[in-house]
Amino acid sequence: MTPIDIVIRSAVAEDVPLILSYIRELADYEKLSSAVVADEATLHETLFGEYPAAEILLAHVDGAPAGFALFFHNYSTFLGRPGLYLEDLFVRPDFRGHGVGRTLLARLAALAVERNCGRFEWSVLDWNEPAQDFYSKLGARPMDDWTLWRMDGQALINLAEETS
């Protein structure tokens, strides 16, 4: 295999169009395209505004955009330390199998260690066996005793209205 040059850098506001394209490509892969309502204005505000909600690393291979990782901090009360949560990892199909995903995850692991995080976590769709195999080979393990719960849409609004 020909060696490639993988460069990882933090995203800046000017990267929002690229970030949105990655989000849409990821949604296509996950068969969730209709769920994407994010637009450039929303991403500018929520990622690069006064209170950034997440951080993004971008991967380039030989100068070409290859993938991204969007992450944020959570907190473990049991550990008394922050954690790093990976919301999205996406590598464009042409760059898969060349170490891009592994390089992004290694950079995130290094950030977690530098920031004194007690753990590094993410979720994987049940049907995404290639991702599960990839993560297992890195030493990650599924948390079988936990079920992800979500509240959104009208249920979220209804519960919030109970405080008024």
Catalytic, out of 22, 29, 75, 135: 135
Question: Which tokens in the block code for residue 10?
Answer: 């933090």
Calculate the alpha carbon distances from 100 to 2, 3, 43, 94, 104 in Å. Answer: 14, 12, 24, 11, 6
Contacts of 120 (CB under 8 A, 6+ apart): 83, 84, 85, 86, 108, 109, 112
Q: Is 85 a catalytic residue?
A: no
User: Whole-angstrom Cα distance, residue 35 to residue 30?
Assistant: 10
User: Whole-angstrom Cα distance, residue 18 to residue 11?
Assistant: 10
Containing H/E element for 157?
A: helix 153-161
Active-site residue numbers? 135
